[in-house]
Amino acid sequence: MLKFFARYKTFAIVFFILSVIIVYIIYTLKVPEERLPVYQPDMVNAELVDSTVQYVRKYHKIADFSLINQNGDTITQEYYKDKIYIADFFFTTCLTICPVMTDHMIKIQEEIKDDKEVLLLSHTVFPVADSVPVLKEYALEKGVIDEKWNLVTGDKKEIYDLARKSYLATKSTGDGGPYDMIHTENFVLVDKDRQIRGFYDGTDPQAIEDLMHDLKVLKDQYR
């Protein structure tokens, strides 16, 4: 009996290895690569989308912009060229959802601080009050890393148009006067082609975990 096993030992090892390879190939073929959707305005809750773009079904991209960050630098889409980024909307004196959202952005910043592919972008929805010095003080208080995270202010209409026409992220139009503000908890994942790849509740820890998972999936698509 021992001589029998000794004679077929090599065959058994080879057979086992081939079986493992075959099983792996079959599993790989059955499990498709995970890919994120490319969100178009007609795929999103119409309440979050400006009426001028509600029925757009393809080719939607984040519009060009020119805003000012916490250091007084002009930030345009060029800053985010060939980068993945996470965008949100906040204001420094918010006492409701914004502190939670900012805390989650800080955690994301910690995760991506050494990742050259990923940046953050937070737009104030209260530009009449959130001047450059105010944003700078807020950035210092929260530990914002300037190279990773821009807190931007600027023309209110431009910011609000970005929120509803580009990021598809808020129900309010904010057109009721200088103190009428949009309010949204949405974090938006944007790819290197300026396309929206995901929406996440910035107040929900589980949604932040989903965002980090999707960020990895998106990065893998560029490998």
Domains of the chain: which residue ranges? 1-31, 41-221
Residue 98 annotated as part of some ligand binding site: yes
Residue 183 annotated as part of some ligand binding site: yes
Residue 123 annotated as part of some ligand binding site: no
- Say if residues 181 and 125 touch (Cβ distance below 8 Å): yes
Q: Is 77 helix (H, G, I), strand (E, B) or coil?
A: helix
The CATH number, out of the four listed (3.40.30.10, 1.10.760.10, 3.40.50.300, 3.40.720.10), of the domain defined by the range 41-221: 3.40.30.10
Q: How far is it, in rounded angstroms, from Cα 45 to Cα 57?
A: 13
Q: How far is it, in rounded angstroms, from Cα 150 to Cα 139?
A: 9
Check residue 182 and give its pLDDT: 82
Check residue 124 and give its pLDDT: 97
Averages of pLDDT over runs of 10 residues in the chain (223 residues) are 53 58 54 87 94 95 98 98 98 96 98 98 96 98 98 96 96 65 91 98 98 98 91
Check residue 4 and give its pLDDT: 47
Q: How far is it, in rounded angstroms, from Cα 186 to Cα 203?
A: 8
Check residue 154 and give its pLDDT: 98
Q: At what angle do helices 98-112 and 205-221 cross, to 10 degrees?
A: 40
